[in-house]
Amino acid sequence: MSTKPKELSFKTALLPTGWVDDVAVCVDASGDISNVASGARNPQNGCLIPGLANLHSHAHQRAMAGLAERSGSNSDSFWAWRKTMYQFLHAMQPHHLRAVAAQLYLEMLIAGYTRVAEFQYLHHQPNGKPYDNVAEMSLATLAAAQELGIGMTSLPVHYQFGGFGGQPVSDQQARFFNEPESFLRIVENVRAASTADLNSNVGVAGHSLRAVDKQSFSQVLSDRADPDGPVHMHVAEQLKEIDDCVAWSGARPVDYCLDHFDVNSQWCLIHATHMSESETQRLAASGAVAGICPTTEANLGDGFFNATPYLQAGGQFGIGSDSHISVSPTEELRWFEYGQRLLHKSRNQLSGGPGRSTGRNLFELAVRGGAQACAHSAGAIEVGKRADFVVLDVDAATLTGRQGDELLDSWIFSGNSNCVADVYVGGQQVISAGRHPQQDQVEQNFRATMRELRGTL
């Protein structure tokens, strides 16, 4: 989408050089930043910051957020939660997914996300038969993103096996199954639908080492049309996964990925919760991004990411809302830090050094890591970057009297009120004064869809 060139001005902005007052940002017709200058006259009374990418999303899981919080007869775990998820998604059809995704992407924009990486593995009909358009479900999420105006990195997910060592998929996993050839047809159909949209791109994902093997996923990587696109994979989220991987291969999951695939800056390993010291150092050195999803990882009882040594070794990270038990970048960043405080029994674990702002360090690292994981030219307010940014309401009670790094520290750590006033994606304003122009219709469609889905369970 192209638009007329425009100039926007703000009272204060976070630039690569730091905080600058009275900033004017020029956006060209393609939605890229063409100039940034100080000395703006009559600037808008807001705080301009780069937009965050939500680097890990399963849109269909938004429909079941909060519905798995009842204790079972045995110890609850990720695996028990997964059974509930399988039961729920059995009823979901493309029109359901589009409505649910639209609601989700609306919530993301309102919260301050400007892009989403949609890790989409719900491909086929409930009986496993492909839709007439094999990419129908992925196209439903893309259509929702384009409708709402959020940037989209589509990540169709290759899912071929039901467990380590090439176990067959179960009946519950029939909707996910593809061999490399049929999977790549999905990718190409999504790519064709994304080509004209400057806010969309396409990568590939391997669901996990349980669901792909070296041969099948290597074929996907070698045969895909865009060899420079992003590559994502779940890895080392659960201790059972570690044990099963070692029993199958003799190696831990992160080590296995690093040994058998060319893991580099195109890659994003989602979760990587349980790493040895050597895996932590190796992943940091690879240039890949660790996709951290703190609220989902806490909800599922996964464990704590090995953050301090990883970041000290120069590792990159971004954040994702994953199962969407929460859709808030501030809560993800807050709980990433709080998890480390609980683990190490000390404050300001991820500040990056003495005297530095924890909020700003977390935010800037997550912005850069998210942009890298999405292969998206954003992540900073500077010439040549995509005009994806957020305007914070400096008159909000949470931010009143704050300046500089205090704005980010207070936004991230002080309460849950939404301080996001406006949101721009590719230079287009999609949120104004906290609302989206299509908000009422999207919410109405979501309510109707949820009533229909619950009636089938």
Of 213, 255, 302, 322, the active-site residue reads 322
Q: Which two tokens stand for residue 211?
A: 């669901």
Q: Residue for token digits 């038969």? A: 129
Residue among 271, 274, 376, 436 flagged as catalytic: 271
76 in catalytic set: no
Q: How many CB atoms lie within 10 A of CB 244?
A: 17
First to last CA, the chain: 40
8 Å CB contact between 305 and 292: yes
Contact 97, 142 (CB under 8 A): no
The alpha carbon dihedral of 300, 98, 29, 428 has a sign of negative
Distance CA(23)–CA(319), nearest Å, equals 28
The whole-angstrom separation of Cα 317 and Cα 373 is 9
How far apart, in whole angstroms, are the C-alpha atoms of residue 110 and residue 244? 40
- Specify whether 232 is catalytic: no
Strands (E), 329-419: 389-392
Instruction: Decide if 22 contacts 367 (C-beta within 8 A).
Output: no
Question: 243 burial class (0-12, 13-18, 19+ CB within 10 angstroms)?
Answer: exposed
Q: Are 283 and 309 in contact (CB under 8 A)?
A: no
* CB of 289 closer than 8 Å to CB of 373: yes
Residue 66 main-chain phi, psi, to 5 deg:
90, -5
- List active site positions: 271, 322
